[in-house]
Amino acid sequence: MGKGAVISFGKPLATSDEAERRAASAESERSSSAGSSQGERSPADQLLDKGSGNSELVLDADVRFIGEILGLGPDQLLPSLHLSDPSTARDRLLCGDLDAGSGLTQLQTQLATAGPDRITLLEAAGSFSEGLLYGLSLPQLAHQLQAPVVLVHPWNDARSVDPLLEAFGQLGPLLAGVVLNGVAPEAVAGLLQAEVPALERLGIPVLGVMPRSPLLRSVTVEELARRLEARVLCCRERLDLLVETLSIGAMNVNSAMEFFRRRRNMAVVTGADRTDIQLAALEASTQCLILTGAGEPLPQLISRAEELDVPLLKVDHDTLTTVEVIERTFGHVRLNESVKATYAFRLVEEHCQFDRLDARLHLPVPA
């Protein structure tokens, strides 16, 4: 990537439930463009023209976080064109509105007229069908904007190739390459020797193979508490702890202690009446203890948790429902902690082919 290049980042379809809505006409959002000509205005300002039909600026939480990590200014963060939420989806469905609107046309014009020193990165939806209701699915965006696509795809075994073949069929030459993600560390070498060359022979460029990382899959105690709508009984200042694994305390205490010793950085879910399991969990590598069902924990449990700096969460759900919510949270965790972002950067540097990526994306290479 050339030195001096100006990077803009955006997510056309905002999906975060923490997406920030602000009035598009707010003067504070235009501070950098006051008195400037159309050619000098930022990408964000061009998408906020009063004639665009947008009444709100929607900035996805992912965009805000990436902007902070990469040191991007407000004028380099692109507002989303739509926010995917239940009420908006229902309104569009009932109206039969599948059009992306004028915002996409403006984005298309903006990208076509951008100078060679400006690079725009867009995060698309997580599947090929997501966003169709808004006219903003990955294939629709790629073809409308004529934008090359780098696909990050989870890889379990050879059966994982089907979505890649679908991507190749729908995107054709717009598929710049794929990064195979979440690969078992012990399988990386074999994958590079066998499956990766096979994918290349099928016309699918593989730009990297990323090993699975418990840290990147982890979630903060705070995020679990929010998703579970839990009461925090103690150690609120420790909600930034990262949970990597989930354990269910439904066995006898001797079996539980042996099981807990083999786990690390775990969240333990158990009934509020299982004081024996709760105390055993506190002596292991437990990041938080989640109590389900009726009843309240004993005072001595709270005291011990405070001594060990382990947050206690109390939920009204039963154990099964609680586990289902936590498992969904692990499956949709975001890179919204700086320690995870730093580690992800290192993994990408080690396992992705940047020279080939630059070439496939036609990025300027510094002399």
Last residue of a domain, one of 147, 181, 203: 147
Is residue 340 assigned to a domain?
Answer: no
Is residue 265 assigned to a domain?
Answer: yes
* Digit-coded pLDDT (tens) for 96-118: 999 999 889 988 888 888 777 88
The CATH number of whichever domain residue 317 belongs to comes to 3.40.1390.20
Q: Same structural domain for residues 244 and 325?
A: yes
Q: What share of the chain is helix, strand, coil (3-state, %, to 5)?
A: 45, 20, 30
Is residue 249 assigned to a domain?
Answer: yes
Q: Same structural domain for residues 124 and 41?
A: yes
Q: Same structural domain for residues 235 and 131?
A: no
Q: How confident is the model at residue 274 (pLDDT cuts 50, 70, 90)?
A: confident
pTM over 0.85: no
Last residue of a domain, one of 147, 178, 206: 147
Residue 219's CB is within 10 A of a number of other CB atoms, namely: 24
Q: What is the pLDDT of residue 47?
A: 46
Domain total of the chain:
2
* Digit-coded pLDDT (tens) for 34-81: 333 334 445 444 444 433 344 466 888 889 888 988 889 998 999 999
Is residue 58 assigned to a domain?
Answer: yes
* Digit-coded pLDDT (tens) for 241-252: 999 889 888 777
Is residue 105 assigned to a domain?
Answer: yes
The residue segments making up the domain with residue 139 are 1-147
Tokens describing residue 283: 């002596």
Q: Same structural domain for residues 224 and 142?
A: no
Does residue 241 contact residue 288 with C-beta atoms inside 8 Å? yes
> Strand, coil or helix: what is 10?
strand
Q: What is the pLDDT of residue 332?
A: 63
